[in-house]
A = this chain, B = another copy of it.
Amino acid sequence: MRKIEIIFQPDGKRALVEPGTTILDAAKQIAVDLTSICGGKKICGKCKIIVTEKDRVNAITKNELNLLSNKEIENDYRLACSTKVIDRVVVKIPESSRIGKQRLQIEGIETPVTFDPFITKLAVKIAPPSLEDLRSDAKRLLDALKDTYSLTNLHIDFELLKKLPTVLREGNWTATVTIFDNRKIIDVEPGVTYPRNYGIALDIGTTKIAGYLINLDKGKLLSADSIMNPQIPFGEDVISRITHAITEPEGLTQLNEIVIRGINELLESLCAKTGINSNEIYEASVVGNTAMHHLFLNINPKYLALSPYVPVVQGPIDIQSQNVGSGVKLNIHSQGNVHVLPVIAGFVGADHVGVILATEIYKSEEICLAIDIGTNTEIALGNEKDILVCSCASGPAFEGAHIKYGMRAATGAIERIQISPKTFEVNYQTIGNSEPRGICGSAIVDILAELFKIGIINYRGKMNTNIDSPRIRGENKDAEFVIAWNEDTGLEEDISITQEDIRELQLAKAAMFTGATILMKNKGMTRDDIQKIFIAGAFGSYIDSKNAITIGMIPDIPLERITSVGNAAGTGARMALMSRESRNTANEIARKVRYLELVKDPDFMKEFANAMCIPHREPERFPTIKTLQ
């Protein structure tokens, strides 16, 4: 029978099903993250999906007309349980229909800051006009703020003048002003609204976008969440995104609009959870790698992909929210400020400035190595005196991509693994203690380390298929090791790690270690000089340091000196949102840090080839690891 392809966005997963199969069944077959409380009984109305190619599925059913709102129907929403496939179709799963709890992407180190945000809200009583007092509305507001709060040199955003007369009279001459940076009034509301003052910190990664909603009246984190970067269908790494932006007509606009739409979805979900109106978010603080930074700001990224890879702009950017983006506007207060942290170089972005800020390397006496693991991995080495940074193209393997059963760190992801050296039995732990649906980054590190320690793979990463175990099957590049049997999984198949997966992981860990090595060489340092290692990144909080050393991902230093800091880039963005001092420090970091171009180093290729081995071709670099070479 003819099979029909269904493509699920934003993950890009594909299912091949018979005509007439429901989207929900198709999603289950390939473990697409799609919620369904009633399990397909067509009563819960939770399995919402978006299908724009209406002629490729059955017509909307009476059941759906009952369970969906008119607005949803207008926006091409369907229920996966009631939608049957007729022809090849793309199905979008909105963030609200996902099961997976986003956690690992958003948790990060908490670095204390002096709470002193750029946004303040103040209520004020204003004298009404009379024939004896003919001051303009603007003047009488400014005079009232001067008299009440001794605020001078304030300037009213031009757009506010349009509503000012109505607002002052509606509030019966009591109003609340929102002030940016002690100098610009960016909103005025009737009556007293001052505690309602919020900000959003955003970390735009190549693969994931994390958002942190913060109360700017109190400095408290209210809610955090993350989504997949919806640009992924245009390429998984920054180079393919840049290529799309510069070669396709309207490519830049397209990528800009799609990322802002994604962020707006994230904002909507955070606002819904907290009962906050997006209009009450007055500032966004944004980090991201340099390519994401340019695409978010709709700035031509062409020269980021051409040697010598210079960015268009390095310094911090402050723009009114309404000026961000080409067509789609960022959904915070239209006069709100968008602060984008500075970048360091074409491949070391504002996210790494955030990591350096959050880990406080810049004021440490000890020599620190900070590794921010992502699709690109940035590494910083140094202390208060001098910091040297580089970027390595590690790829998205540790984020679960390019790995057969890789997934993001969501409910059902295997996050921790141990393999018995004798029986090869596997103990695993999943996020949310659910049935396993895939493997996330922290477990991927574990697997590689475990397989190496018990000799299932050798120092070259090759799987020994001569071992007699039902878990080891296939040959050469088709070889694989079964981690979970299908009867135990949430899927209809076994979860395994393949020889090809292992190759991907070797490439990734080799890239990271080479970066660290070249930085040390350039600063005239050895492993012994490193007093601290910070591991940042989506799975940072959960990584097993010993296993990371075992596979040769990070230098072999005593475990107590290694700290996982989670999404430290996001922490940096939060700090810059909450603290004037932190924002200034971030600017100083970006100015002072020195960038090293790895490929310019004559030892780069040799070091990379050596680092492909597990843990390394030169065992003396990993004295604590017993090698089987």
Contacts and interface: CB of A to CB of B under 8 A. Distances in A.
Contacts of A165: 300, 302-303, 312
B129 A310 contact: yes
A302 B166 CA distance: 9
Given A135-B310, A139-B313, 4 more contacts: A136-B313, A137-B313, A163-B300, A164-B312
A161 B313 contact: yes
A224 B123 CA distance: 48
Contacts of A137: 303, 310-313
Contact of A310 (B136, B161, B346, B597): B136
A318 to B, nearest CB: 9
B159 A297 contact: no
A131 interface: yes
Contacts of A309: 134
A138 interface: yes
Interface string A128-156: 01110111111100000000000000001
Interface in A274-331: 297-300, 302-303, 307-315, 317, 319, 323
27 contacts: A130-B308, A131-B308, A131-B597, A133-B308, A134-B597, A135-B310, A136-B310, A136-B311, A136-B313, A136-B314, A136-B343, A137-B311, A137-B312, A137-B313, A138-B313, A138-B314, A139-B314, A139-B315, A158-B297, A161-B312, A161-B313, A164-B312, A164-B313, A165-B300, A165-B302, A165-B303, A166-B300
A600 interface: yes
A162 interface: yes
A510 interface: no
Task: Quickly give the copy total for this chain.
Answer: 2
A595 interface: yes
Contacts of A139: 313-315
A126 to B, nearest CB: 12
Interface string A323-350: 1000000000000000000010110000
Given A129-B310, A310-B129, A314-B139, A299 B161 contact: yes
Interface in A159-180: 159, 161-166
A162 B300 contact: yes
Interface string A108-142: 00000000000000000000011101111111000
A308 B127 CA distance: 13
Interface residues of A, number: 43
B597 A136 contact: no
Contact of A323 (B131, B158, B303, B345): B158
Interface centre among A163, A313, A346, by most B CB within 10 Å?
A: A313
A346 B311 CA distance: 50
Contacts of A600: 131
Interface string A242-261: 00000000000000000000
A165 to B, nearest CB: 5
Contacts of A308: 129-131, 133-134
A321 to B, nearest CB: 12
Contact of A131 (B131, B135, B307): B307
A323 B134 contact: no
Contacts of A163: 300
A298 B163 CA distance: 10
Contacts of A159: 323
A508 B79 CA distance: 73
A595 B134 contact: yes
Interface in A344-392: 345-346
The 9 closest A-B pairs by CB, nearest first: A136-B314, A138-B313, A129-B310, A136-B311, A131-B308, A158-B319, A137-B312, A161-B299, A165-B312
A352 B223 CA distance: 54
Contacts of A311: 136-137
Given A131-B597, A595-B134, A162 B298 contact: yes
A131 B598 CA distance: 11
Contacts of A129: 303, 308, 310
B312 A134 contact: no
Interface centre among A136, A162, A311, A315, by most B CB within 10 Å?
A: A136
A343 B161 CA distance: 14
Interface centre among A138, A164, A310, by most B CB within 10 Å?
A: A310
A600 B130 CA distance: 12
B136 A312 contact: yes
A362 B133 CA distance: 24
Interface in A55-87: none
A597 B159 CA distance: 29
Contacts of A302: 165
Contacts of A317: 158
Contacts of A319: 158
Contacts of A131: 307-308, 597, 600
A436 to B, nearest CB: 45
A435 B319 CA distance: 59
Nearest to A599: B131
Contact of A312 (B133, B138, B315, B597): B138
Contact of A162 (B299, B303, B307, B345): B299
